[in-house]
Amino acid sequence: MITKNFRLASLALPVAVACALLTGCATKTPSLYQWDGYQPQVYEYFKAQKGAEDQIAALETAREKITAKNGALPPGFRAHLGTLYASVGKGAEARQQLTEEKAQFPESSAFMDFLLSKLQ
């Protein structure tokens, strides 16, 4: 019985060391998109806690941070910004954002075309 416990105990240490080494070698996969402040702004938009101008300013700041890091804006970022611009009467800025969203994410073309048609 003592020999069996000794064998288990002698195996536990090498296994624990191997696990620790393998865990330490793991690398974190970088995120495809940089979300810097986008999700909280969408949440606040739906809760109507901030005005459109405040949300535009926050998203523009987030966009500057993301592009400064050579990061990619997430899907919907430009579309949301475009709808905010449209809500305050800035049609040219709204059109630019919706067109950029459509170019970056072609799968959104039908919806972006619909939103663009509402600007005219």
Question: Which residues, at least 6 apart from 95, have a Cβ–Cβ distance to it below 8 Å?
Answer: 82, 116, 119
pTM above 0.85, yes or no: no
Q: Which amino acid is at 113?
A: D
CA–CA separation, 102 and 111 (whole Å)? 9
CA distance 93 to 96: 5
| Burial environment of residue 44 by CB neighbours within 10 A (0 to 12, 13 to 18, 19 or more) | middle
Fold of 38-119: 1.25.40
pLDDT in tens, the chain (120 residues): 555 555 555 666 666 666 665 565 656 777 788 887 788 888 888 888 888 999 999 999 999 999 999 999 999 999 999 999 999 999 999 999 999 999 999 999 999 999 999 997
Domain ranges of the chain: 38-119
Contact yes or no for 94/85 (Cβ under 8 A):
yes
